[in-house]
Amino acid sequence: MEKDNKKIELIKDIKFLRSVGNEEFYRVFMDALSTYFKCLTTFGFNNPYTKECFNVVKEMRMVIKEEKRMLKLLYNNVDYINLDDLSDTVAMIDELGEDAYTDYSDILDNIYSSCEARDKNRIVRSNKPIDSLVTNGEYKEKIYDLVQKGSTRK
């Protein structure tokens, strides 16, 4: 009975995370839009940071799309995966998503603050990619391995 309750909770968590991804994307999109207009009026259309606002939206969309794809894969195989391993994997995806959201929001905040100060030199974006399911294949590999290991138990 406890195993069934844990499974039900994990299914709820997976569904919740899939819906949260949409909310995070819309928040980043709205932040990017306001930052874009601020940057446009401050630095002009040809400024690379004006265009960076759309890069942030594009990257965040890819992250959320991949996150949803991996969550769907786990959801479809929930009956075959060890529940402790599944719980750890769902927590990992949640943490990665939150970190990516925070990092992209920070980039937009940095651009917006630089616009407020009218100082292009304050805008800094690390050359290091943001750690996510898209940029780091190790996470997806763990998920695929988990699903494959579970599918052999069918």
Instruction: Tell me the per-residue pLDDT of 2-52, one tens digit each, with 9 for 90 and over.
Output: 778 888 899 999 999 988 888 888 899 999 999 999 999 998 888 888 888
Whether the CB-CB separation of 133 and 60 falls below 8 Å is answered with no
In this prediction, residues 78-85 reach a mean pLDDT of 91
In this prediction, residues 115-141 reach a mean pLDDT of 82
∠ CA 67-71-76, nearest 5°, is 150
User: 128 φ, ψ to 5°?
Assistant: -75, 130
Whether the CB-CB separation of 111 and 53 falls below 8 Å is answered with yes
Whether the CB-CB separation of 107 and 28 falls below 8 Å is answered with no
Tokens 């819309």 appear where? Answer: 26
